[in-house]
């Protein structure tokens, strides 16, 4: 545990260092934590400046006032819940480091907010999507391999862009993926993804590239690993041709994979492990998708579904 200075701003910096160095959180996650905690220090600066110097004096009442301040700014319940979660993590860390005697945020209830069901592509749209990239260009072969990999494995965007050729076993049809918090997992892929990856790598070799185990699996310009932004742009380009979802992103394919697996009877725990979810509750949202589909089909097809409305 690093040496921590008592001032709140120093405490926050050491906490963020801990998340980055020890917990291996991504830069984007660290940035989100920093933004949420800076909102709190900005509030404290006008509420009671002594708290900046003596964080051990921060109590539950101060945190409740902060939450009230956020609501006065018309922040949504989801945003308020995220900022409260950041505070709980910070004070838990400081308590363990014996900087503060107790966690003043512990026990404060998270605001309730409606949980939106994730969007996904129907199977026919997903199949059509896979066929869109050209098989006559290297970029087309790469894009087809990217789409097939997303749909086969459900991996996250950052996980895909971090893959090397050595992470893929074509004999086992598996990939070694580095997930959130530096957690490694093995995911399987099927024949379609394997063939798309094989054609793409072979095309790179035919163009004179030396493709070894350390090479990025998916390349952008100058042979470097393709950037997350480039993947987002390319995926959205193809999705616009088949779907009308609000968020045309690689994450939509992640939702699609989970939904299609559960629709076809996959075990919930197996889907959890495939997606790399930390808790089963994150995976269970897809069972709600399936339930809503069932209800909608029932209302459309069953003769007595709307009998009570007549």
**Catalytic positions, please?**
156, 180, 251, 254, 277, 286
Half-sphere exposure of 232 (CA within 13 A, CB side): 9
Structure tokens at 75: 């922040």
Contacts of 34 (CB under 8 A, 6+ apart): 12, 16
On the 0-12 / 13-18 / 19+ scale of CB atoms within 10 A, 69 is middle
DSSP string, the chain: -----SSHHHHHHHHHHHHHHTS---HHHHHHHHHHHHHHHHHHHHH-THHHH-GGG--HHHHHHHHHHHHHTT--HHHHHHHHHHHHHHHHHHHHTTSSSS-TTTTPPPPP---PPPP---HHHHHHHHH-S-SSSHHHHHHHHHHHHHHHH---HHHHHT-BGGGEETTTTEEEEE-GGG-EEEEE--HHHHHHHHHHHHHHHHTT----TTSBSSB-GGGPBPPHHHHHHHHHHHHTTT---S--SHHHHHHHHHHHHHHTT--HHHHHHHHT-SSHHHHHHHHHHHHHHHHHHHHHH-TTTTGGG-
In angstroms, the first-to-last Cα distance of the chain is: 67
């Amino acid at each position: 545990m690093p040496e921590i200075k008592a001032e709140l701003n120093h405490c926050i910096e050491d906490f963020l260092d801990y998340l980055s160095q020890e917990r291996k959180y991504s830069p984007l996650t660290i940035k989100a934590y920093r933004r949420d905690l800076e909102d709190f220090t900005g509030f404290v600066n006008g509420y009671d400046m002594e708290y900046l110097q003596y964080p051990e004096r921060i109590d539950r009442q101060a945190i409740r006032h902060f939450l009230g301040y956020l609501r006065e700014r018309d922040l949504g319940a989801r945003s308020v819940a995220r900022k409260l979660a950041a505070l709980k993590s910070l004070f838990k860390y400081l308590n363990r480091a014996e900087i503060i005697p107790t966690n003043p945020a512990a026990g404060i209830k998270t605001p309730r907010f409606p949980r939106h069901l994730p969007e996904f592509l129907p199977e026919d749209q997903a199949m059509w999507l896979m066929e869109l990239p050209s098989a006559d260009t290297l970029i087309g072969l790469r894009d087809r391999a990217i789409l097939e990999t997303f749909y086969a494995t459900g991996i996250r965007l950052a996980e895909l862009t971090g893959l090397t050729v050595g992470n893929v076993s074509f004999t086992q049809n598996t990939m070694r993926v580095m997930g959130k918090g530096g957690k490694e997992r093995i995911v399987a892929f099927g024949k379609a993804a394997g063939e798309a990856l094989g054609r793409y790598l072979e095309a790179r070799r035919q163009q004179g590239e030396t493709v070894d185990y350390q090479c990025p699996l998916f390349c952008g310009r100058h042979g470097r690993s393709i950037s997350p932004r480039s993947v987002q742009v390319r995926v959205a380009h193809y999705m616009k041709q088949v779907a009308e979802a609000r968020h045309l992103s690689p994450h939509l394919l992640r939702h699609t994979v989970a939904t299609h697996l559960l629709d076809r009877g996959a075990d919930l725990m197996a889907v959890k492990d495939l997606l790399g979810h930390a808790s089963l509750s994150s995976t269970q949202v897809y069972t709600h998708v399936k339930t809503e589909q069932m209800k909608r089909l029932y209302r459309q097809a069953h003769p007595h579904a709307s009998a009570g409305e007549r």
